[in-house]
Amino acid sequence: MILTQFQLVGSDLFSRGLVSSHGGNISVRTGDRLIITRHGSMLGHLSGEDLVETGIYVDDYSTQLASSELPVHRAIYRETSALAIVHTHPPHAIALSLASSEIIPLDLEGALTLKNIPVLGWGIRIGPGELSEEIAHSLKEFNTLLIHSHGSFTIGETLEEAYHRTSSLEESCRIIYLLRGLDNR
């Protein structure tokens, strides 16, 4: 059941262009443990070997296999009530993160689903696993955020809900991007 959920969301993320062949990661919380995609896994073609179960509070034998964003996922689960996390690299959202410290959706779905989206780490280069406490703290207030020049983190009660927020983010950013292009006629 969990593998099927991961495969469905991972496949959709890849087919919609929200992650590259080996980019992004997803996880779910199960008590004091989490299941996260393996470091370097292909979200578009996940198998059982691509899912890693490890502790939220402690390392174990499988921790080293987990995504490099594991510290961020752990911090989010420690600080929020999230049961699922989706981390992607949506191109229109990343482009806007390079120019703005906050994204305000102009379309109705984005405005209702996301509200305003903060861009953290604006003006600095952020690597995988960095800013974990700041990300977790922001996700107490927001369900979606962007990391400057890097990508998005969305949370939800299910992977589907977190995926919906991710796709809504990219759609809202695409609309803003297109509108800005019209303004430059």
How many Å apart are CA 168 and CA 109, to the nearest integer? 7
Residue 80 in contact with residue 70, Cβ under 8 Å?
A: no
pTM of the model: 0.95
131: left (phi over 0), alpha (psi -120 to 50) or beta: left
Question: What is the predicted pLDDT for the residue at 126?
Answer: 76
Residue with tokens 């699922």: 84
Pairing of strands 117-120, 144-147: parallel
Q: What is the pLDDT of residue 115?
A: 85
- Could you give the C-alpha distances from 184 to 94, 107, 162, 178, in angstroms and in order? 20, 20, 34, 10
Q: What pLDDT, on the 0 to 100 scale, is given for residue 182? A: 84
What integer pLDDT is reported at residue 176 of this predicted model?
95
Give the number of other CB atoms < 10 A from CB of residue 71: 18
Topology, domain 2-183: L-fuculose-1-phosphate Aldolase (3.40.225)
> Which residues of the chain have a pLDDT value below 50?
185
Distances (CA, A) of 4 to 11, 74, 154, 155, 173: 10, 23, 20, 19, 29
In this prediction, residue 172 carries a pLDDT of 97
Res 125: pLDDT: 78
Write b or e for each residue in 97-130: b if 16 or more Cβ atoms lie within 10 A of its Cβ, otherwise e. beebeebebebeebeebbeebbbbbbeeebebeb
What is the structure's pLDDT at 184? 64
Q: What pLDDT score was predicted for residue 130? A: 80
Question: Do residues 126 and 83 lie in contact, with contact meaning Cβ atoms separated by under 8 Å?
Answer: no
Residue ranges per structural domain of the chain = 2-183
